[in-house]
């Protein structure tokens, strides 16, 4: 059994380290962060915080070095899905299954252009890079995976991957329909991420501050309305996820805030942009999601055209 983790940033590293430590499968990690890959080669992949471990695994910055893999786990930023999927497609055959655990919606459609079987995934563990080869594990949580409907992925493949991940310490629930879990996290992310990115408030601070907490709730309500019109039953209440994140120890910065501080392109197109676009398609107004989408895009533009 061989598993390739594509995108070994914070979340990808959590999956890679747990799987490698468990020893049930040969783990390969592909990432363009050269210093991170070199540190993993030299000292292993260290995880600290919610779990403490150091795992040994194969890692490369050259996708051509990837061998055939039975499973893939895509954990890149959504903006990199298209390029990464094309680069690693040779590692998968007609029996392989590739699972997205990325933020937002729309990634599975891109992956399906390059591999036969795709698994829709949603994960709640969160972390941040401390140094090359060292990832801070901020928030523990479950993962839900299910067949991506257009690819007719066998449920047996979903259950096999879920079992491997759960035994490795990343509790994973297989679902015949994983859209509800995915949209629950999408709505959670689309409320908390852009607000944090635009105000520079970490998650707990934004939750405790009345105006931003109210904005969270109003953004969530828009997303819920779109999901209802699409016939998607949410897998829980996004408001509870907001509170869970706020109760986590430390000052967790949402991924979009981390991107803004580093002046990197964000995933807002796959979050608020996606909710706004789906709202337009089904006739549900989403003025707040659209406004935050436009504001974050404007902020990104300021880094390229400051004058």
- Which pLDDT score is estimated for 304? 86
**Is residue 84 within 8 Å of 6, Cβ to Cβ?**
yes
Mean local confidence (pLDDT), 18-26? 97
Alpha-carbon gap, residue 20 to 14, rounded angstroms = 10
- Which pLDDT score is estimated for 247? 81
Mean local confidence (pLDDT), 41-66? 96
Residues of the chain with CATH 1.10.1040.10: 179-302
DSSP one-letter code for 15: H
pLDDT confidence tier of residue 255, bands split at 50, 70 and 90: confident
Strand partners, 45: 55
**Is residue 122 within 8 Å of 143, Cβ to Cβ?**
yes
Q: Please say if the pLDDT value at position 307 is more than 80.
A: no
Alpha-carbon gap, residue 28 to 265, rounded angstroms = 26
Alpha-carbon gap, residue 198 to 89, rounded angstroms = 36
pLDDT digit string (tens) for 112-161? 999 999 999 999 898 889 999 999 998 889 999 999 999 999 999 999 99
- Which pLDDT score is estimated for 138? 87
- Is domain 179-302 classified as CATH 1.10.1040.10? yes
- Looking at domain 2-174, its CATH class is alpha beta
**Which of 266, 185, 179 is closest to 220 using CA atoms?**
185
| CA contacts within 13 A on the Cβ side of 126 | 22
pLDDT digit string (tens) for 72-90? 999 999 999 999 999 999 9
pLDDT confidence tier of residue 253, bands split at 50, 70 and 90: confident
- Which pLDDT score is estimated for 246? 81
Mean local confidence (pLDDT), 33-43? 95
Q: Helix crossing, 287-304 with 179-199: angle to 10°?
A: 50
**Is residue 14 within 8 Å of 137, Cβ to Cβ?**
yes
pLDDT digit string (tens) for 198-209? 999 999 999 999
pLDDT confidence tier of residue 236, bands split at 50, 70 and 90: confident
Residues of the chain with CATH 3.40.50.720: 2-174
């Amino acid at each position: 059994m061989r598993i390739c983790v594509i995108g070994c940033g914070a979340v990808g590293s959590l999956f890679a380290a747990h799987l490698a430590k468990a020893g049930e499968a040969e783990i390969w990690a592909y990432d363009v962060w050269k210093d991170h890959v070199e540190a993993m080669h030299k000292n292993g992949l260290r995880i600290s915080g919610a779990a403490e471990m150091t795992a040994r695994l194969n890692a490369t910055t050259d996708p051509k070095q990837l061998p055939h893999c039975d499973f893939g786990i895509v954990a890149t930023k959504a903006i990199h899905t298209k390029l990464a999927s094309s680069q690693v497609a040779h590692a998968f055959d007609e029996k392989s299954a590739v699972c997205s655990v990325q933020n937002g919606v729309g990634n599975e459609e891109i992956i399906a252009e390059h591999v036969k079987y795709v698994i829709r995934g949603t994960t709640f563990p969160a972390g941040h890079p401390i140094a090359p080869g060292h990832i801070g594990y901020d928030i523990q949580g479950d993962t839900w995976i299910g067949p991506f409907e257009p690819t007719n992925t066998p449920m047996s493949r979903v259950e096999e991957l879920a079992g491997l991940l759960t035994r490795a310490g990343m509790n994973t629930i297989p679902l015949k329909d994983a859209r509800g879990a995915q949209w629950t996290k999408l709505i959670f992310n689309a409320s908390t991420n852009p607000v944090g990115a635009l105000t520079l408030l970490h998650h707990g601070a934004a939750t405790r501050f009345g105006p931003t907490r109210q904005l969270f709730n109003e953004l969530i309500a828009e997303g819920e309305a779109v999901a209802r019109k699409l016939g998607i039953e949410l897998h829980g209440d996004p408001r509870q996820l907001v509170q869970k994140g706020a109760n986590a120890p430390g000052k967790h910065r949402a991924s979009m805030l981390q991107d803004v501080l580093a002046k990197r392109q964000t995933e807002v197109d796959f979050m608020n942009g996606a909710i706004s676009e789906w709202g337009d398609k089904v006739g549900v107004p989403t003025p707040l999601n659209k406004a935050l989408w436009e504001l974050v895009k404007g902020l990104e533009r300021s880094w390229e055209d400051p004058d």
